[in-house]
Amino acid sequence: MVARKVLTGARVVLPTGVVEGGRVTVDGRTIATDESGSAPATVVLPGDHWIVPGFVDIHVHGGGGATFSAGTAERALEVIGTHRRHGTTTLLASTVTGDLDDLAHQASALSELVEQGDLAGLHFEGPFLARNRCGAHEPSLLRDPDPSDVRKLVDAARGTARMMTLAPELPGGLDSVRLLADHGVIAAVGHTDGSYDVTRQAIEAGATVATHLFNAMPPLAHRAPGPVAALLEDERITIELINDGVHLHPAVLELAFHRAGAGRVALITDAMGAAGKGDGRYPLGGLDVEVKDGVARLVEGGSIAGSTLTLDSAFRRAVTLDRVPVEQVVEAISATPARLLGAYDRIGSLEPGKDADLVVLDRDFAPVGVMRKGEWVLSPELV
């Protein structure tokens, strides 16, 4: 049985605000009500440290030199371990465009990790994407979202498919959005060349997420507002943002937070294999990617190919460079994605009865402790 633990002395970010010199009590795998007295394991933290909920990443392809597209549990666990050490205690495994049979095989293999609790579900990004907005997805493998093909991937995931990104303007797009919604799978609008009106139709059909808003879609224009305006303005849409300083200008991040609010923003990584690893050449869904100075680009064509981001870096950048209040960053990096997944009763905030998923950050917002379900992934006592 996991020992009772008490963390005390640091600033604790709760749904009600920041508590100076706060206290978090962990009993087994869950957060307990605060009680006075000693405990078997007490960690006294500096007052300039922070205790925040574990991060929730709904869009990640790889890390630590591995990718989920490898379709093996061993490689997937390398990805998971890398992101956990950087504070992400819950994540979806995102695939990359591929042959339908290959994607079905990947889904079947990854579903086992969902069933044993290592993953929160699967996210299919592709192959139902617009050719003009494909980014780092292999153009020859793109296809229209025929509902029967969409259903094939959902079925292959054996109940673990949580999200699928598609371009709703393609033939079958709106019907596929309806199919996903009917099966309890989040329909996300992304890698799209669709208009404002088509995007509105997709939302009415059941789409609830904007995949990395602003990226891989037409830009906002005053006579052709496109998908950006439709997705920003609708309260039913959760918008993904990649805050690595490459995908978005700080002014655009500020615009999104101001218009949508932290309750509709989900900070993501869209990380590929180089996250937590370093510069070099990496595969991504059959394409070659060169990472230089932390920026990933396709060897052929030079398109941005995901990110090398981890969510602790996204958190630190949002607070220190973008000047987003800590409470709003916590909501966007933990609570909002947890609500989207229907898991806010278990994760996303530091409240009694929830999973003991938390991150200890130092005064510079670097992680010095990560706990998942009451067990240390990275212990502050060892730093």
- pLDDT tens, residue by residue, 54-88: 999 999 999 999 999 998 999 999 999 999 999 99
Please name every residue paired with 284 in a beta bridge, in sequence order, or none if there are none: 287
pLDDT for 39 equals: 57
Give the separation between CA 52 and CA 370, rounded to whole angstroms: 10
Distance CA 125, CA 137 (A): 9
* DSSP annotation of 133: G
Q: Is the pLDDT of residue 354 over 60?
A: yes
At residue 186, the 3 state secondary structure works out as strand
Region 342-360: mean pLDDT is 98
Q: How far is CA 128 from CA 147, 211, 244, in A?
A: 10, 13, 26
Q: What is the mean pLDDT of residues 308-325?
A: 97
Average pLDDT over residues 205-228: 97
- Model pLDDT for residues 193-211, shown as the tens digit of each residue: 999 999 999 999 999 999 9
The pTM (predicted TM-score) of the whole model is: 0.96
Give residue limits of the domains in the chain. Answer: 5-52+348-382, 55-340
- Count of residues making up the chain: 383
Torsion of the alpha carbons at 203, 336, 342 and 205, rounded to the nearest 10? 0
Is CATH 3.40.50.300 the right assignment for the domain spanning 55-340?
Answer: no
At 286 the pLDDT is: 79
pLDDT digits (tens, 9 = 90+) for 235-293: 999 999 999 999 999 999 999 999 999 999 999 999 999 999 989 998 887 788 899 99
Asked if the model's pLDDT at residue 346 lies above 70, the reply is yes
Give pLDDT, residue 302.
86
DSSP secondary structure letters along 27-61: ETTEEE----S--SEEEEPPTT-EEEEPEEES-B-
Q: What is the mean pLDDT of the chain?
A: 95
pLDDT of 36 above 80 = no
pLDDT score for 312:
98
The pLDDT confidence band at residue 323, using thresholds 50, 70 and 90, is very high
- Report in angstroms the alpha-carbon separations of 2 from 80, 85, 311: 22, 20, 27
pLDDT of 381 > 90? The answer is no
Alpha-carbon distance 142 to 134, whole Å?
Answer: 8
Q: Which 3-state string (H, E, C) describes 231-249?
A: HHHCCCCEEEEECCCCCCC
Mean pLDDT of 327-334: 98
| Known catalytic residue at 270 | yes
Q: Is 123 left (phi over 0), alpha (psi -120 to 50) or beta?
A: beta
pLDDT in tens, 145-155: 999 999 999 99
- The predicted-structure confidence for 81-107, as pLDDT tens digits, reads as follows 999 999 999 999 999 999 999 999 999
Catalytic entry in 27, 193, 244, 270: 270
CATH tag, 5-52+348-382: 2.30.40.10
Position 227 pLDDT exceeds 60 = yes
Residue pair 182/161 in contact (Cβ under 8 Å)? The answer is no
- Amino acid 383: pLDDT: 44
Residue range 8-33: mean pLDDT, rounded: 95
Relative to beta strand 367-372, strand 358-361 is antiparallel
Q: Is 183 exposed, middle or buried (0-12, 13-18, 19+ CB in 10 A)?
A: middle
Residue 259 C-beta-side C-alpha neighbours within 13 Å? 17
- Kindly state the percentage of the chain with pLDDT values over 90: 89
Q: Give the whole-number percent of the chain exceeding pLDDT 70.
A: 97
**What is the mean pLDDT of the segment spanning 220-225?**
95
Query: Residue 2 has what pLDDT?
Result: 53
pLDDT at 37: 52
Mean pLDDT calculated for residue range 326-350 = 98
pLDDT at residue 126 tops 60: yes
- The pLDDT of residue 1 is above 50: no
